[in-house]
Chains A and B, each alone.
Chain A
């Protein structure tokens, strides 16, 4: 009965192998699921991730700097319509809005010859590092240093950055009551030298 014995051993091995494979498969699948869930929570606005979670489209109104405006009152910004992914998550909506504002800023050529420069509210090198929504309705907007460096000076420019983000978030995301700015994860005395960002904006 040598053959029979080998068959039993072989069957036992196969059963063990299947068991181990199944265990590995299940734990790896759970791990992947956990990672996917986490990725969706992160500041990852890859369209596929959003599309995955999206339940449709959402029309939002961006508020961007109006050419020639100096008075930060009600005519300081003009409206532009955009469509973003509807996710039901106010934070994801808020992040998409800020990303749209950053991308919106194509800029305008000015000057001539070697002195030719492109002016834009948000530097294309800059990015949104994080955006959180605290329980009290404060949206904490963490901008990268490049956005501050892209403000080439002047109170109007600083106000354009602050007001366009604040206004766009306040008007589109009802949960946002006020906006508090961080730069590279830290609180700053001013955004770029003139305007104090020690307190939130409404």
Chain B
């Protein structure tokens, strides 16, 4: 009997031990601390990752949720978050956030979210901030307020927009077609009422969009807007945008009653004296802009280490330049050295110099060696429904018809497509003769051509992935012939206009 008793007891302890083990495998719960109170959020482990019960989090943070079979929406005071099919990509406004683990529907109506959901996603829809205090404990804090005042300082040659804030938070400045955006992070922004811009031709009104990030200002571009510079000053924290007018449209200082002197920014070292280098005092003569593709860290076609597209493109572009100069044309290269420029910088050189023709010089690469010859590309705009230019009316899209001469940056090329096609056809025909092949002009969404306000083509003068092309392209005499052909085509195109 005693043996039986011992056996039963042993079984009992074993079962308890098993239960304890199973429980220890489950994730630790989470504690959310709000002020003096602590709230518990149930945790669970799956595939070694911790997940937390969304319903508990929603209860503590007072979020409402709505669920259908494949999707759950979480409503916060700043926005709505939709989780599609429990997959780790969340779609928040116009932003995609990738989580480390999927959102887990453990059972019907019972969703679990991975830990980084708390830090990455919730701040996007909440007026709150979650700070990790220790493993498993987060402190929920109301985000501090940042009072921001917008001031305008009018100078002879430019206008400064000053964002004076009560806290030194994170700010990012980004340029869009119609406006320059100043995004505040870290602290919620309270914006003082914003006065009208003293120079409506340079910038329109400054709008405050509280729902974007922690508060975002949009400085609308005016007719004469050309470029801007950003600088940051401290004590009090200030972000300054210096807005410069379109070349040749600078106003005389006498006409501006609102001219103010910059208060001495002690020790900031960022004084904004106007320089003679500022764009636009002298009228520009249209030139031919030649853009050697790639450069710097961007090697371009990089199949055989001893021949890189970036080097070949520069060699060809310089040969084209020499021949154009010899025939009396004005030429600008986008780069002279082995440096990497982004697509905007390249097309900006074209637009700044009022290019009459823009040629981006590349050599090609294809996933199969058979592909050969030269290919001339022209810009293929995305379908109108996709274009970012379908700006919401509140962005000033309605003014478009009043200023038909204003063209959105990425749509600069659309008005020049006929010329581009004519130039491309001429160039393709001549290069086909040179390579002895029948390639066609190709339309593609090329980032470098989109903004160019001139007939523009991108030419890939042979394929480095094709053995015959590769050999020819290494030959100096062939390079000269290529340059000669391209120059002849450009001249023929310009003469026939």
Chain A residues with a Cβ under 8 A of chain B: 3, 6, 9-10, 13-14, 16-17, 20-21, 24, 28, 30, 34-35, 37-38, 41-42, 65, 67-73, 91, 105, 107-108, 110-111, 115, 117, 119-121, 130, 132, 134, 140, 142, 152-157, 159-160, 182, 185-187, 189-190, 193-196, 198-200, 202
Contacts and interface: CB of A to CB of B under 8 A. Distances in A.
A160 B410 CA distance: 24
19 contacts: A13-B9, A13-B11, A17-B12, A35-B47, A67-B368, A68-B372, A107-B367, A117-B304, A120-B367, A152-B303, A153-B299, A156-B365, A156-B366, A157-B366, A159-B442, A160-B367, A194-B446, A194-B448, A194-B458
Highest count of chain A CB atoms <10 Å: which of B5, B96, B306: B96
Given A34-B105, A70-B442, A160-B366, 20 more contacts: A16-B12, A17-B15, A20-B16, A34-B107, A41-B87, A41-B102, A65-B366, A71-B439, A72-B444, A105-B367, A110-B369, A153-B299, A153-B365, A154-B364, A154-B366, A156-B365, A156-B460, A187-B96, A194-B446, A200-B382
B481 to A, nearest CB: 21
Contacts of B362: 154-155, 194
B70 to A, nearest CB: 9
Contacts of A182: 96
- Chain B: interface size category: 35 or more
A71 B442 contact: yes
Highest count of chain B CB atoms <10 Å: which of A72, A182, A187: A72
A70 B373 CA distance: 9
Contacts, number: 198
Interface stretch (B168-176, B243-251, B383-391): B383-391
B87 A132 contact: yes
Given A119-B368, A132-B84, A190-B447, A42 B465 contact: no
B180 interface: no
A104 to B, nearest CB: 11
A67 B98 CA distance: 36
A28 B19 CA distance: 11
A196 to B, nearest CB: 4
Interface string B381-405: 0110011100000000000000000
B152 interface: no
Interface string B70-110: 00000000000000111111010000101000101111000
Highest count of chain B CB atoms <10 Å: which of A30, A38, A142, A193: A193
B96 A152 contact: no
B153 to A, nearest CB: 33
A24 B22 contact: yes
Contacts of B458: 155, 194
B213 to A, nearest CB: 17
Given A156-B371, A196-B447, A70 B440 contact: yes
B463 A35 contact: no
Nearest to A109: B369
B156 interface: no
A34 B442 contact: no
Contact of A20 (B15, B387, B447): B15
Contact of A108 (B301, B306, B368, B448): B368
Contacts of B291: none
B375 A194 contact: no
B211 interface: no
Contact of A155 (B12, B84, B444): B444
Contacts of A157: 365-367
Contact of A189 (B16, B343, B372, B388): B343
Contact of A195 (B371, B372, B445): B445
A35 B46 contact: yes
B201 interface: no
Interface string B350-366: 00000000000011111
Contacts of A70: 364, 366, 371, 373, 375, 439-440, 442
Contact of B446 (A6, A14, A160, A195): A195
B461 to A, nearest CB: 12
Contact of B96 (A37, A108, A110, A185): A185
B258 interface: no
A72 B444 CA distance: 8
Contacts of A195: 444-447
Nearest to B7: A10
A24 B19 contact: yes
A110 to B, nearest CB: 4
Nearest to B340: A193
B46 to A, nearest CB: 6
Interface string B422-466: 000000000000000001101111111010000000101001110
B478 interface: no
